[in-house]
Amino acid sequence: MRIALCQIPVGDDPKDNLEHVLEALAIASEADLAIFPEATQVRFGRAMAAAAEPLDGPWVTTLAEAARRHRTAVIVGVFEPAPDGRVYNTAVAIDADGRAAGAYRKIHLFDAFGFRESELIAPGDTPTVVELAGTRVGLVTCYDLRFPELARALVDRGADLLAVIASWAQGNFKEEHWVTLIRARAIENTTWTVAVDKAPDPPQAPGGAIGVGRSLLVDPMGTVQTDLGPFPGVRVVEIDDLITEHVRKTLPALEHRRPDLFG
């Protein structure tokens, strides 16, 4: 399976951001699946409510048409209106035919390091696995990465691949947390893990600098196979299911769990 890690810049104008997505998708047209950051539609801030659309709105529909043209499935972060006046932070999955394959509303909201995501965003409540390019993909969004029970629930629901999308806030030791947590989720679940962050904002960005880059492909043994570093870029990588089979024979940790003790 060929996956494009699309580490693109994201700004305050949804139209400009959509252009960046379409350009990256054209570069990634050889991939089976292209993964974009959390909040690709518009940068985190007060503009989220104004930019939010239903999932059949023009922003996602335009992207779905491009996915169909390129025959490339897509995972991308958008905002959709919530009933209480806030918005949902949603990961949308589109298949290679341009059809909706599913959507995941972020469960764990980032009320930490001085941020209050819950003031503007409503939480979701459903772990989500989607079928894309013949693979079952478990969806994880940013702060979710700090909660191992979500990744494990996705694997229990049949995920063969974990896809993490993020707009990881910059800060003290934050980049180390990002890399360590991605590797941990891959190791403890013996599962390929692809994590795509936005390209970093400049330090003086209004509202706080977001994005550390470092989009990663990590294999089921925890080896970092690809690291995009701090600059914008699109990289097409391959994952091999035979590696998963080999690792799980060598390290059958999922079989050694004790649900009789821990549920």
Q: Is 15 a catalytic residue?
A: no
The burial class, CB within 10 Å (0-12 / 13-18 / 19+), for 31 is: buried
Cβ neighbors of 259 (< 8 A, separation 6 or more) are none
Among residues 6, 80, 117, 142, the one annotated as catalytic is: 142
Residue 80 known to be catalytic: no
Q: Rounded to whole angstroms, how far apart are CA atoms 88 and 4?
A: 25
Reply yes or no on whether 106 is catalytic.
Answer: yes
- First CA to last CA across the chain, in angstroms? 33
At 78, phi and psi to the nearest 5?
A: -135, 180
Q: What letter represents residue 231's amino acid?
A: F
Following DSSP, what letter does each residue of 137-162 receive, concatenated? EEEEEGGGGG-HHHHHHHHHTT-SEE
Dihedral sign of CA atoms 211, 197, 18, 44 in order: negative
Catalytic residue (one of 80, 106, 117, 198): 106
Q: Which of 6, 38, 80, 117 is labelled catalytic?
A: 38
Task: Give the catalytic positions in this structure.
Answer: 38, 106, 142
